[in-house]
Amino acid sequence: MFKLLCVENLAQFLAEVPPDLVRLSLTYQVQGAGPAPVRRYTLRLQGWNAAEELVQLTEDARINLSPDGRSPWDTRDRSLQAAVAPWRDLVQAYLAAHGYTVQCGFYAVPDYLKIMDGQFECVTWARDGDQWTVQPTPSQPEESCTT
């Protein structure tokens, strides 16, 4: 039987998955059509724990698209789109600094499994007016799951 463990944040992922090979992917999907389509970017981190469960952390970023669905709608959305690749790169660097070997791609999971979104707390999304950027979160003590 396939076992998928969705975690809420990166601290929980690090506690579950020992430093080894992990998969990190940034994918997108266009949702909706007509006057308000949205591009949903998903950053997905996967690795195996000692119980042979696939541990997964995902977080989404959404941008509004022009009515034709081809380009970001406005300045805010253009800045969000420009920040998604650096978002992935910051998470990858954080993982590498913690001893993980990071490779691209992801393990496909059955459609019937519900994926829970979490947060990569090693990255902070910063807003200045209509502009969004990502930056490393200042170091703070790692928290573990207490529930």
Domain limits, the chain: 4-136
Mean per-residue pLDDT, 69-90: 92
Amino acid at 60: D
144 pLDDT exceeds 60?
no
Mean per-residue pLDDT, 75-96: 94
> How many other C-beta atoms are found inside a 10 Å radius of the C-beta of residue 32?
13
147 pLDDT exceeds 50?
no
123 pLDDT exceeds 60?
yes
Instruction: Give the three-state DSSP class for 17.
Output: coil
Distance of CA 34 to the CA centre of its chain: 27
Which band of pLDDT confidence, cut at 50, 70 and 90, is reported for residue 1? low
Measure the CA–CA gap between 12 and 88, rounded to whole angstroms: 18
Share of the chain above pLDDT 90, in %: 69
Global confidence as pTM: 0.88
